[in-house]
Amino acid sequence: MCGIFGYLNYHVSRDRRFIIELLFNGLRRLEYRGYDSAGISIDSSVTGAGDLCDSPLVFRQEGNIENLVKSVYQEVSATDLNLDESFSVHAGIAHTRWATHGEPAPRNSHPQSSDAGNDFLVVHNGVITNYEVLKQSLIRHGYTFESETDTEVIPKLAKFVFDKAYEGGDQTVTFSEVVLEVMRHLEGAYALIFKSRHYPNELIACKRGSPLLLGVKEFAEEQMNGTSYNDMKFISKNGHPKELFLSSDPHALVEHTKKVLVIEDGEVVDIKDGGVTILKFEHGKGKDVKSLSRPASVQRALSILEMEVEQINKGKYEHYMQKEIHEQPESLTTTMRGRLIRGGSSKRKCVLLGGLKDHLKTIRRSRRIVFIGCGTSYNAALAARPILEELSGIPVMMEIASDLLDRKAPVYRDDTIIFVSQSGETADTLNALEYALENGALCVGITNTVGSAIARNTHCGVHINAGSEIGVASTKAYTSQIVVMAMVALAIGADTISTKQRREGIIESLLSLPGKTRDVLKLDEEMKDLARSLISEQSLLMFGRGYNYATALEGALKVKEVALMHSEGILAGEMKHGPLALVDENLPIVVIATRDQCFSKQQSVIQQLKARKGRLIVMCTEGDAAAVCGGSCRVIEVPLVVDCLQPVVNIVPLQLLAYHLTVLRGYNVDQPRNLAKSVTTE
């Protein structure tokens, strides 16, 4: 949920102003992960190797990144801090927060400190579940706490470990040994970056559960013109000038370098003297604080980041959500590229999913298929369930990740479990994955993030290739998820002769889908006009059925997330079992009634709502306006596609409606209240 960032320049001269601005810009790239408070830490003076540096400077502020920027420069102007002072080596850390423990306030912002002298500083993404026990133990040892956060125990524990080692006569305890000992006491999920005045010009990063990447920009020794050093072996202490970056995700790295390392759970990354050492944390070893242990280092290779800076800019659009809604024709094309095979009239039409092909026989023999997801990902899976059941002939179950874990629901060895997550780092979904692996099920991942935890830990999977999505409310990832799961259904059912014609019809419709999506985006102004009529409403209902029950849920979720209006997606078949009591002439109700096998039933729903003077907004297929409501209600007409792909087309006007409602109501569409993009805490 939070975003953490670190920057270390080695034999690359950078002034303090440049370092501060680089940290700020890193946080701007990560701000969608949390934006209720932020902070940075930099060195107060130039320090030589092995020297005890002056207390690092720490700046923290409530509110978004720009509040922090303003407060830092106000504080700098009130002091004699020289922004032009140059550092050939410097380590800085930064954090943008989504509050879990303690209200948004400077005292609860990160970096959190060990003491008034800032001996140890930490930025943290995640939740420490045993912090209360650690806090009470440290209080008994004389430590006082300033914040309500779970994070503050970490730097204080680091200081406790360091001081105990020195008291025991160990004057050579290393930074990594201190951090390893701290990790042995921590329970929960975390990604951490440590900075210490006792270890100047050195950063330590470690993780368990929460995402963290290392970026490396290395310059040729003989020149400083920005030419990359092309050694793809893992970076060593070779003396070359370099810049090293740590980040919660690639968005903050791509403008600096494409050479990255995805840090694995249990790894401790020590950045020092221009080199990087990776240690593997082994829980349970070296418990005695008087004899701190150092595990052997491991070798890793850098990979190339498949992302361009243009993908994370707004371009001609005012907001990321707006941009991402309008990118859907292109993102759907990319999702399907190279995966649909269509020859001439005599040639076979099929789907090729390289990540699944070796496991299709196992999937076809499954007792059942279980979709697991949260929020929008769950809704996308729900939209795909009917076609997967139809083409595979296998029962398909739906599970919300947190509920599956709460119930400890049975999972069998002959189950296929499909984990759906845009980020691939969703905490509840990851925990459900661990549970399914323990029970021996075949685990399939569907994510938008190459190298994510779900992508790495499942047996097989499919990347949706929707491109970077920065708006907190998911739009293009949702439609790409539906398309990928439809293709998964086609691949699983490819050995069934009786469904050949149905499958080929779906493939033809998939190929035309980007064009249909482009057509429906022409409703933008119409949706803006509809939003104006709803701007003062307090509630909105959406009724869907069959494939479009998921559309009702997702449309309501989008309105709820960004426009901060109560909205509820309801299965139309349940209308008479309670929701009908809410209907009157004032409450706006969206009914999704496009052409599919549920069309006649939705016509009946419309008539029942009209009989009770319901204020209807009907989404129907182009040309059906007169048939569905006879001109007595507002109509949204959308292009017709094959039934299992109709939710892709139908959701776009509702995304536009949510976007315009939010803008007209004066809310921040990209950073909705209390939410963050990647939910990496339970």
Instruction: Please give the C-alpha separations between residue 488 and each of 336, 482, 583, 597, 617, in angstroms, as whole numbers.
Output: 12, 10, 39, 22, 33
Q: Which two tokens stand for residue 426?
A: 């969703």
Q: Please, are residues 24 and 92 in contact by the beta-carbon 8 Å criterion?
A: no
Question: Which among 2, 374, 460, 598 is annotated as catalytic?
Answer: 2
Cβ neighbours of residue 370 closer than 8 Å, sequence gap 6 or more: 396, 397, 398, 399, 411, 415, 416, 417, 418, 441
Q: Which two tokens stand for residue 639?
A: 């292009």
Q: Which two tokens stand for residue 638?
A: 């959308």
598 classed as catalytic:
no
3-state SS, residue 408:
coil
Q: Give the span between the Cα atoms of 583 and 585, in whole angstroms.
A: 7
DSSP designation for 272: E
Q: Give the span between the Cα atoms of 554 and 477, in whole angstroms.
A: 12
DSSP designation for 219: B
**What burial class does residue 442 get, using C-beta atoms within 10 Å of its C-beta: 0-12 exposed, 13-18 middle, 19+ buried?**
buried
Greatest alpha-carbon span in the chain: 88
Among 631, 638, 636, which Cα is nearest to 617's? 636
How many Cβ atoms sit within 10 Å of the Cβ of residue 114?
Answer: 23
Q: Which two tokens stand for residue 204?
A: 């330590």
**What burial class does residue 390 get, using C-beta atoms within 10 Å of its C-beta: 0-12 exposed, 13-18 middle, 19+ buried?**
middle
The catalytic site residues sit at 2
